[in-house]
Chains A and B, each alone.
Chain A
Amino acid sequence: MRNIFERVKQWNTLTRIWHLYDAKWQDPFDSAKVIQKYLKGLHKPIYHPLADCGDHVVVINCKEIAMRGDEWRKRAYFHHTGYAGGGTYTLAWELHDKNPLMIMKKAVYRSMKGNLQRRYTMERLHLYAEENVPQDIIENISSVIPQLRDVPMRLDRMPEDQVKGYPKIWDLPKDYVVR
C-alpha cells in the first residue's frame, strides 16, 4: 500500500460497489447491455468469469422506460404453461401494465449468456418501479451509471419566459393572421 490513491483503487476493485441507474426515458435493451457489464464486473481490471467480482446495480424508475417507435405494440413476450395449447403471446405494453419491472428484468437476463452463473448475477440486480427505494439499499449506493439518452423536456413544463425568449429562426409573413 504505497499511497492513499492506491488504497482507494484497491477498495474500488475488491469490494462490491452499489451503482444507481435511473431508467427514466431509457431504452431497456440498450440499458441492459450497460448494466450487465457492471453486474458481471467486466469494468474491473481483475475480471475473470470465476472471480465473483460483480457489483450491485439499483435501477429506479423502471415504470418510465421508453421504447423506440412502435415497439410497445410490436414486441411480444412468449410464455408456455407446459400444457397443450398453453402458449400465450403478451405484447410489451400489456406486460408493462401487469408488471412494470418485468421488461427491464427480462432485458438484462437475456443480455447475458445462459450459463450457471447467470441466476447468481441476476441476484445483484435490484429493480424499482419508482424513485422510492428502501433506506437500507440507498445507504449502500456510492456510484451512478450515466444515462444513455437525454430525458426530453416537455414544452408545457418549460418556464414561460424561456419559451418566449428563445431565439426564433424565422418570422411570420406580413399578412399572417395569428391564431
Chain B
Amino acid sequence: MLRSITGMNNGLSFMKQMLLSANVRCFSVAAVNRVKEIIVTKDNKKTIIEGILKPSDRVNLLLDPPADTNHEACSICRLDVDIKHTDVLILSQFMRSDGGMLPRRVTGLCRTQQKRMSKLVTMALKAGLMPNLAPANSKRDPARRDKFKKNHRYFDESTIRPPFRMKYPEDRSLH
C-alpha cells in the first residue's frame, strides 16, 4: 500500500526532457553502419581467426539531430539536454560491457563532452546505478560493498570542474 502511494519516480529525466522539448525528433534509418566481430575457430592443429562485419544493432534506434543542428558538433553538443548522472540509459551507451569508458577516438565526442561524460559515468558507478556493467568479482553492486560505500550516495553535477559550457537553444544563433 505504501509503495503505491509514494513510488512515483522512475529516474528517466532525460526521456522527460526529450518529450517536453520543442524539437520534434523521430527515428530514422541511416546508412547501415557495420561493426566488426572476431570469431576464433579451433580445429586440430589449425586455428582460424576471422573478422566479420555485421550491422550495428543501434542503426534503427539512432536519434535524428534537430533540423537546425551544427553538423560539426559532436553527438552530445547537438542535443540541447542536460544529462545527469542518473541517466544511465544514456551513459551506458559510452561504456564497454566490463564497465570501462570508451576512448574518444571511438565515441567521437569533443574533448569537453568526453571528459564530462567520463565524470558522470564515475558518479553513476559510485552510486551503484550500473552494477551489471562490471568485470566478474567486482564490488559495483552496492550489496557487496562495505563501510561507507554500501549506503546510498548521490552527486551534484555542478561540482564537476572545470565548469563545462552547456549548449542551450539560445546559443544556436552563434553557430
Residues of A within 8 A of B (CB): 20, 22, 24-25, 27, 60, 64-69, 72-73, 91-93, 96, 131, 133, 138, 144, 147, 149-156, 158, 162-179
Asked if B35 is at the interface of the complex by the 8 Å CB criterion, the answer is yes
Count contacts between A and B, CB distance < 8 Å. Answer: 153
Are A174 and B34 in touch, CB under 8 angstroms?
Answer: yes
Give every chain B residue within 8 A of A164 (Cβ-Cβ).
Answer: 57
Contact of B59 among A64, A92, A131, A171 (CB under 8 A): A171
Give the top 10 A-B pairs by smallest Cβ distance, nearest first: A66-B152, A93-B148, A156-B132, A22-B6, A153-B11, A72-B148, A150-B9, A152-B86, A170-B75, A168-B58
Question: For chain A, what secondary structure do more than half of its interface residues adopt (helix, strand, loop), or is it mixed?
Answer: loop
Give every chain A residue within 8 A of B98 (Cβ-Cβ).
Answer: 179
Contact-residue size bin, chain B (C-beta under 8 Å from the other chain): 35 or more
Q: Which residue of B lies closest to A22 (CB)?
A: B6
Q: How far is the CB of B158 from chain A (nearest CB, A)?
A: 11
Are A167 and B63 in touch, CB under 8 angstroms?
Answer: yes
Are B36 and A176 in touch, CB under 8 angstroms?
Answer: yes
Q: Which residue of B lies closest to A176 (CB)?
A: B35
Are B151 and A152 in touch, CB under 8 angstroms?
Answer: no
Are B148 and A91 in touch, CB under 8 angstroms?
Answer: yes
Complex CA gap A151/B7 in Å reads 8
Asked if B38 is at the interface of the complex by the 8 Å CB criterion, the answer is yes
Are B59 and A177 in touch, CB under 8 angstroms?
Answer: no
B85-99 vs A, CB cutoff 8 Å, 1 = contact: the mask equals 010111011001110
Give every chain B residue within 8 A of A152 (Cβ-Cβ).
Answer: 11, 86, 88, 127, 129, 154
Contact of A150 among B11, B59, B97, B128 (CB under 8 A): B11
Complex CA gap A11/B53 in Å reads 71
Give every chain B residue within 8 A of A133 (Cβ-Cβ).
Answer: 2
Are B156 and A69 in touch, CB under 8 angstroms?
Answer: yes
Q: How far is the CB of A131 from chain B (nearest CB, A)?
A: 5
Give every chain A residue within 8 A of B36 (Cβ-Cβ).
Answer: 174-178
**Given known contacts A72-B148, A155-B89, is B58 in contact with A172 (CB within 8 Å)?**
yes
Asked if B106 is at the interface of the complex by the 8 Å CB criterion, the answer is yes
B76-92 vs A, CB cutoff 8 Å, 1 = contact: the mask equals 10010000001011101
A-B contact pairs, 8 of them (CB 8 A): A96-B151, A152-B11, A153-B86, A153-B88, A154-B130, A167-B63, A172-B106, A179-B97
Instruction: Among B6, B27, B76, B97, find the residue whose CB has the most chain A CB atoms closer than 10 A.
Output: B6
